A and B are shown apart, each in its own frame.
Chain A
Amino acid sequence: MIRNDAHIVGNVFDMETLGAAATRDGFGHGVVAAGERNPNVVVVCADLAESTRAQWFRDTFPERYIEVGVAEQNMVTMAAGMAVYGKVPFITSYAAFSPGRNWEQIRTTVCLNDVPVKVMGMHAGISVGPDGATHQPLEDIAIMRAIPRMTVLSPCDAVEAQKAVEAVAVSGKPAYIRFGREKTPLFTSAETPFEIGKAYVAWEQEDPEVAIFATGPLLHNALRAAEQLAQEGVRTIIANIHSIKPMDEACVIDLARRTGAVVTVEEHQVSGGMGSAVAEVLAHNHPTIMKMVGVHDRFGQSGTPEELIEHYGMGIAGIAQAVHGVRAKK
């Protein structure tokens, strides 16, 4: 059952009436709000103002918007210089290019330099769809969480995305947030908890048999899978891992102890992603049977987002299958 204290919207399972928005919209709203609070917030853009929603900030604060052209390495290093001076730069592009193309610069000039540059990776995951594999970054979480000092967030909907942006704006640290291109369900609310480093339980049944850790918009698929499984008599508990780094280790260990079987769900390579981060926590603290839902060492391809999510095993059926799999192994 949906946990009351998660403050999920009442029509979360009614696909007819449930609202939808792209998580990148949450960036657009969040960065304008952050800009209103702090005059040092600036937005740097690499020729993608409209699709990254950087344009919303440009329209509000034109003097604090900096265009660098198609040059993601300059974008992050120039922003690092601005942050050295005292600005709080949000750098915006597609995740395929930033952090895809400028990883070393992020490592050296942001994280080792220890300056609060915020890397905003749009169009992350396979659900970019028709553009195909070049534009479907599935490795961004892995390459960002490997760097010391980096915070890595993956919000589940546009509401949570806005909270994530406003939170990193005041963290004083390097941060990476991944956002999606497509409209995805809007199912959390203003009251839904959000804190960097703190997961929350969104769904819980009595005496759960399997724990599901989900991140990003696929959390909604996980909830729908749990609802179906409940009808089959399979009891689950679901935590939203919006904060991949720092990870809420206590929550992960607690749910693994209570269930003895874990499924992770993410729109990312299973190698190095959120599932790997959960596996690291459990290997060190409480080894548990696991299955990871995500992309298994393959590139994407053109298709509709729905087709691709299904094809690569991240749909409702794929999640349910993984739950059955770990439950059978207990």
Chain B
Amino acid sequence: MAYLTEAKRIELEAKANEVRMTVIDILEDAGSGHTAGPLGMADIFTALYFHVLNHNPHDPLWEDRDRLVLSNGHIVPIRYAAMAHAGYFSLEEAKTLRQFGSRIQGHPERDRLPSMETTSGPLGSGMSQAAGIAYAARMDGKTFRTYVAMSDAEHQAGNLWEGIMFAGANRLSNLTGVIDRNNIQINGMTEDVLPLEPLREKYEAFNWHVIDIDGHNMEDFVNAVEQAKAIYERPTLIIAHTIPGKGIKEIEFDYRWHGKPPSTEEEQKWLAELRTLQGKIEASHHG
């Protein structure tokens, strides 16, 4: 990967919009699941699968692939949607989300779908697993990079801070963390439930390099990922400030959409909203 060209940026924005539509589609089919987080992370997961990660959807366990660990497993619909668009499995299979016998489990399971890298859902354990992968890779002289996507609220869990401390102490510069800083959690706003701030200073105190970005700005994210590669002897954290439910005006910023799927009626309305946006993006591309 490399820094973004204008054409690539527009292509990624259009792709993110398609991926959002798939998220809404598969959540409505499933009848349960989380909506706000996946929509809020649509831009970053699109950038990851369509620009950042060194990967091969047709050889998902290629040994030199970049690793992406999803710590907050409940936003996995966005990963499924992005991976389906990238060609790991069909959109039809993605629509079996949460169904009996499906590989597309409610929370990701490595043994059913190895390209998930890890099984996750219980919060706070992805950082350490990613650090373990990065540490082992360095032992073997591997040059692939390891990414871990985390929620903000899971930083209330102690296991995560143990992992942050370990990664910083071991100077895992091949590890990049991404926090979905959307400020919501099940019981309300993070700063009301149990304040997380100052997140930047906390990570810096643990020997991390920290970059704040607009999590909906493709260029910001790609630049941050590139910067992380240049940071020596420290892991990098990207705090991606995102809007939960991004793309669907009526649910943006509303914490009540953390853990429920759209109804059929909402699905239709939202898809129409995104199709309008898609038209605008394409018009700007061709214009």
14 A-B pairs (CB sep. < 8 Å): A42-B136, A68-B162, A68-B166, A71-B166, A73-B162, A77-B163, A78-B135, A80-B129, A81-B128, A81-B131, A84-B129, A89-B132, A109-B119, A109-B129
Binds A, one of B22-30, B38-46, B110-118: B110-118
Instruction: Name the residue of chain B whose CB is nearest to the CB of A79.
Output: B132
* B139 is an interface residue with CB less than 8 A from chain A: yes
The complex places the Cα of A104 from the Cα of B124 at a distance, in Å, of 11
Please tell me if the beta carbons of B111 and A84 are within 8 angstroms of each other in the complex: no
Please tell me if the beta carbons of A86 and B136 are within 8 angstroms of each other in the complex: yes
Please tell me if the beta carbons of A112 and B163 are within 8 angstroms of each other in the complex: no
Please tell me if the beta carbons of A85 and B133 are within 8 angstroms of each other in the complex: yes
Decide yes or no: A85 and B159 within 8 Å by CB, A77-B125, A105-B125, A113-B111 being known contacts. Answer: no
Please tell me if the beta carbons of B109 and A112 are within 8 angstroms of each other in the complex: yes
Tell me the B residues contacting A by CB distance below 8 Å. 67, 69, 109-111, 117-122, 125, 128-137, 139, 158-159, 162-163, 165-166
- The residue among B110, B131, B158, B162 with the most chain A CB atoms within 10 A of its own CB is B162
* A114 is an interface residue with CB less than 8 A from chain B: yes
Choose one: A73, A81, A87, A104; the contact of B118 (CB below 8 Å): A81
Instruction: Name the residue of chain B whose CB is nearest to the CB of A117.
Output: B132
The complex places the Cα of A42 from the Cα of B132 at a distance, in Å, of 12
A interface majority secondary structure: helix
Please tell me if the beta carbons of A108 and B136 are within 8 angstroms of each other in the complex: no
Instruction: Name the residue of chain B whose CB is nearest to the CB of A64.
Output: B139
Interface size on A, residues (CB 8 A): 28
Please tell me if the beta carbons of B166 and A78 are within 8 angstroms of each other in the complex: yes
Please tell me if the beta carbons of B159 and A108 are within 8 angstroms of each other in the complex: no
The complex places the Cα of A82 from the Cα of B129 at a distance, in Å, of 7
Please tell me if the beta carbons of A85 and B136 are within 8 angstroms of each other in the complex: yes
Decide yes or no: A71 and B165 within 8 Å by CB, A80-B118, A81-B69, A112-B119 being known contacts. Answer: yes
Chain A residues, Cβ within 8 Å of B129: 77-78, 80-81, 84, 109
Chain A residues, Cβ within 8 Å of B139: 42, 63-64, 87
The complex places the Cα of A104 from the Cα of B157 at a distance, in Å, of 13
Please tell me if the beta carbons of B110 and A71 are within 8 angstroms of each other in the complex: no
Please tell me if the beta carbons of B110 and A82 are within 8 angstroms of each other in the complex: no
* A234 is an interface residue with CB less than 8 A from chain B: no
Choose one: A73, A82, A84; the contact of B159 (CB below 8 Å): A73
1/0 per residue A64-96: CB within 8 Å of B?
101011010110011111111111010000000
Instruction: Name the residue of chain B whose CB is nearest to the CB of A102.
Output: B159
Please tell me if the beta carbons of B128 and A77 are within 8 angstroms of each other in the complex: yes
